[in-house]
Structure 1
Amino acid sequence: MDLFLTALSGLAWTIVYIEAIRLGFRYKTYAMPIAALGLNIAWEWTYAVQGLATDPQLQAWINLVWALADVVILITFFRFGRRELPGFVSRPLFIAWGAAIIVTSFLVQWLFIVEFGTADHKAATYSAFLQNLLMSGLFIAMFVARKGPRGQSLVIAVAKWLGTLAPTFLFGFFADSAFVIGVGLLCSVFDLAYIGLLLWARRDPATFAPATAPQPG
């Protein structure tokens, strides 16, 4: 069961990243909020390198695949993200802001390791679920900020939900962790709300037409 849930999470999140890359280049935008993307990059590179160096199991290789995909998503952010911001944000300021988020994200991940160590995986688990909850909220904020589903899709929303639900069972219910269960279920609440927003936009495109043409698939 552990291997199945690990593989399910790995597959679901890989689908999220592939779809985010596809939408980013198709619609010339970025499909993942930058704060969540920064934390993901930091987490995945940190634990891919650590895992492959010390215990190259399935999760370590999955982390490496995710880390490489995140780099491509980051390219879409730096290439297209400037147009999402007000005119007073110059190109150099935009690049500096994005770089500051990435650097800060790595520092936050490493502070989790300093605080909890690496022996019992609490640093990886706690930081992963907290940033996952942040991402869930930021996807909804992105929908609101863009006044619709531009650069977003149900594929991302559903795959993210399943990709989070699997480790909620693995590290929460099966490991009897109240923190993981609580934060994981909160992620599901926000993820399902986001799915509901995207379904609403699909059923009633006229409501969002001024900000969503062309519609993502």
Structure 2
Amino acid sequence: MELFLTLVSGVAWTVVYVEAIRVGLRGRTYAMPVAALALNFAWETTYAVHDALGGISAQGAVNVVWAVADAVIVSTYLRFGRAELPELVTRPLFAAWNALVFGAAFAVQWLFLAHFGVHDATRYAAFLQNLLMSGLFLSLYAARRGPRGQSLVIAVAKALGTLAPTVLFGVLEDAPFILGLGVLCGVFDLAYIGLLLRGRLLHGRQGGAGAPGPGLRSLPDPSR
């Protein structure tokens, strides 16, 4: 059962990352909120290296795949992200901001690791940042005034990828804290899925194909 749930989580989150890459490149944007992206990239890189040094495992192999996929998502953010910020954000400011965000994300992961040890740090950090991601996806929808750069595939796969480790660590390992965080993630994930479905339904009723959402402005050239 443990191997099965690990593989379900691994496949589901891999779908999230592949779809995020596809959506980001297609829409010339990034498909994951940057704070969650930074924490995810730091988590996967940290534990991919740790697992590689400690020996081969199913989760270790999954972490390597996730880290590589997340690196590509990071590249879409670095390529297109500045275009979604005010013009006063110059290239040096954007670079400094990214150094701060990604540096802080790695620091947070290493602090979790130093304080809790590998067993608890992997779980606590993963579920806390997963909950943050769930909330930030809702904020991303609101900030973009619609589903631009987002996908129902991402939302559903994320929900399934969270459910599997919630059962594994929260139920089978009897960890109430993890179970509680997993349930909260599920609530936010279902809300996000509902929001995307509602937007698709409204879009279908309006009969528009490819029309931008209300209030969506054209973005400046990201290469400036």
Same fold (TM over 0.5): yes
The one-letter code matched in structure 2 to 1:210 is P
The reply to whether residue 209 of structure 1 matches residue 209 of structure 2 is no
The reply to whether residue 133 of structure 1 matches residue 126 of structure 2 is no
Q: Return the alpha-carbon distance in structure 1 between the equivalents of residues 102 and 26 of structure 2.
A: 24
Q: Return the alpha-carbon distance in structure 2 between the equivalents of residues 28 and 91 of structure 1.
A: 18
Q: Return the alpha-carbon distance in structure 1 between the equivalents of residues 46 and 152 of structure 2.
A: 29
Q: Paired residue for 2:195?
A: 197
How far the C-alpha of 1:52 sits from its partner, in A, is 1.4
How far the C-alpha of 1:55 sits from its partner, in A, is 3.0
Q: Return the alpha-carbon distance in structure 2 between the equivalents of residues 211 and 151 of structure 1.
A: 15
Q: Paired residue for 2:73?
A: 73
Q: Return the alpha-carbon distance in structure 2 between the equivalents of residues 19 and 212 of structure 1.
A: 23
Stretches of structure 2 lacking an aligned partner (at least 5 in a row): 218-224
Q: Return the alpha-carbon distance in structure 2 between the equivalents of residues 106 and 163 of structure 1.
A: 22
Q: Paired residue for 2:221?
A: none
Q: Return the alpha-carbon distance in structure 2 between the equivalents of residues 96 and 28 of structure 1.
A: 22
Q: Return the alpha-carbon distance in structure 1 between the equivalents of residues 18 and 85 of structure 2.
A: 24
Stretches of structure 1 lacking an aligned partner (at least 5 in a row): none
Stretch of structure 1 that moved more, 201-210 or 11-20? 201-210
How far the C-alpha of 1:211 sits from its partner, in A, is 5.2
The one-letter code matched in structure 2 to 1:12 is A
The one-letter code matched in structure 2 to 1:166 is A
Per-residue deviation, residues 141-200 of structure 1 (Å, max 9, x unmatched): 000000000000100000000000000000000010000100000000000000001001
1:1-217 matches, within 5 Å, as: 1-118=1-118, 121-205=119-203, 206=206, 209-210=213-214
Q: Return the alpha-carbon distance in structure 1 between the equivalents of residues 216 and 49 of structure 2.
A: 39
Per-residue deviation, residues 98-143 of structure 1 (Å, max 9, x unmatched): 121111000000000111122xx00110000000000000000000
The one-letter code matched in structure 1 to 2:194 is G
How far the C-alpha of 1:44 sits from its partner, in A, is 0.3
Q: Return the alpha-carbon distance in structure 2 between the equivalents of residues 26 and 142 of structure 1.
A: 18
Q: Return the alpha-carbon distance in structure 2 between the equivalents of residues 9 and 211 of structure 1.
A: 36
TM-score computed with the length of structure 1 as normaliser: 0.94
How far the C-alpha of 1:209 sits from its partner, in A, is 2.9
Aligned length: 211
Q: Return the alpha-carbon distance in structure 2 between the equivalents of residues 17 and 61 of structure 1.
A: 15
Among all aligned residue pairs of Structure 1 and Structure 2, give the percentage whose two residues are the same amino acid: 60
The one-letter code matched in structure 1 to 2:160 is L
How far the C-alpha of 1:210 sits from its partner, in A, is 3.0
Q: Return the alpha-carbon distance in structure 2 between the equivalents of residues 34 and 69 of structure 1.
A: 15
Q: Return the alpha-carbon distance in structure 1 between the equivalents of residues 52 and 101 of structure 2.
A: 26
Q: Paired residue for 2:222?
A: none
SS at match of 2:213: helix
Q: Return the alpha-carbon distance in structure 1 between the equivalents of residues 172 and 55 of structure 2.
A: 22
How far the C-alpha of 1:212 sits from its partner, in A, is 6.5
4+ residue stretches of structure 1 with deviation over 4 A?
A: none
- Conserved 8 A contact 2:145-2:213: no
